[in-house]
Amino acid sequence: MVRIGISVEGPTEERFITKVLTPYLSTYSIYSTPISMGGDIKLDRVRSELQKIAHNFDFVSTLYDYYGFKGKDDNETKYSLEMKIINHIAENIRPKVIPYIQMYEFEGLLFSDPEVMEIEIGEEGIQHWANSILNEFENNPERINNSILTSPSKRLENKTKYRKTTHGPNIAAEIGIDLIRQKCAGFNNWITRLLETAQQA
């Protein structure tokens, strides 16, 4: 069993890892443990956290929202942020670190299945509403982005009775990791890296 510690932004991502991702990875002999940062994601804190937890696991990874990452440049991409994480940590732990930034935030993944979203939140019309949003972004949940005011979570909170820490992980669990991987290329690449890294261990 390969042990992977995953540094996450807050309680929603922590519950997602525990409820959804850990059972999925366990079928590949990987045991993942979420460690919450409690928000305030920035490079110095990330460096300190990863260096602190690296010695307790075979590998460490991250699950941070692009929107939630503080101090990034205007032209910053998920890839440049991931490289900054690698470059800011001590060289001796770099081979153990698999950084991942979710575009644009965790809630984007929930748009992988609007029907499940409607069922779990329990409000009629959500499926049609979510599909209309997806149509604006070429049916790619990870591209839903106009501004921080119209991010996936803000859209959900403004339109529905969505409760982040409850509905988020529950919707993801009902959708399932396999479908999320099919719909979200960035997320799929992350899971693929986790699986490949564990197989090579």
Query: How would residue 171 be classed by pLDDT, with cut points 50, 70 and 90?
Result: very high
pLDDT for 188: 99
Strand partners, 60: 5, 97
> Would you call 19 exposed, middle or buried from its count of C-beta atoms within 10 A (0-12, 13-18, 19+)?
middle
* 108, burial (CB in 10 Å: exposed 0-12, middle 13-18, buried 19+): buried
Class of domain 2-104+185-200: alpha beta
The C-alpha atoms of residue 131 and residue 137 are separated, in whole angstroms, by 10
pLDDT in tens, 92-143: 999 999 999 999 999 999 999 999 999 999 999 999 999 999 999 999 999 9
Q: Per the confidence metrics, is the pTM higher than 0.85?
A: yes
- Which residues of the chain are in CATH 3.40.50 domains? 2-104+185-200
Distance CA 103, CA 192 (A): 17
Across all residues in the chain, what is the average pLDDT? 96
Higher confidence at residue 198 or residue 155?
155
pLDDT at position 149, please?
Answer: 79
Average pLDDT over residues 59-84: 94
In three-state form (DSSP H/G/I as H, E/B as E, the rest C), the secondary structure along the chain is: CEEEEEEECCHHHHHHHHHHHHHHHHCCCEEEEEEECCCCECHHHHHHHHHHHHHHCCEEEEEEECCCECCCCCCCCHHHHHHHHHHHCCHHHHHHEECCEECCCHHHHHHHCHHHHHHHHCCCCHHHHHHHHHHHCCCCHHHCCCCHHHCHHHHHHHHCCCCHHHHHHHHHHHHCHHHHHHHCHHHHHHHHHHHHHHHHC
Cis peptide before 64 (omega within 30 of 0): no
Indicate if the pLDDT at residue 201 is higher than 80: no
* Residue 165 tokens, joined: 């820490």
Read off the pLDDT of each residue in 170-195 and give the average, rounded to a whole number.
Answer: 99
pLDDT band at 77 (very low <50, low <70, confident <90, very high): very high
Q: What is the pLDDT of residues 133-166, one digit of tens each?
A: 999 999 999 999 867 778 999 999 999 999 999 9
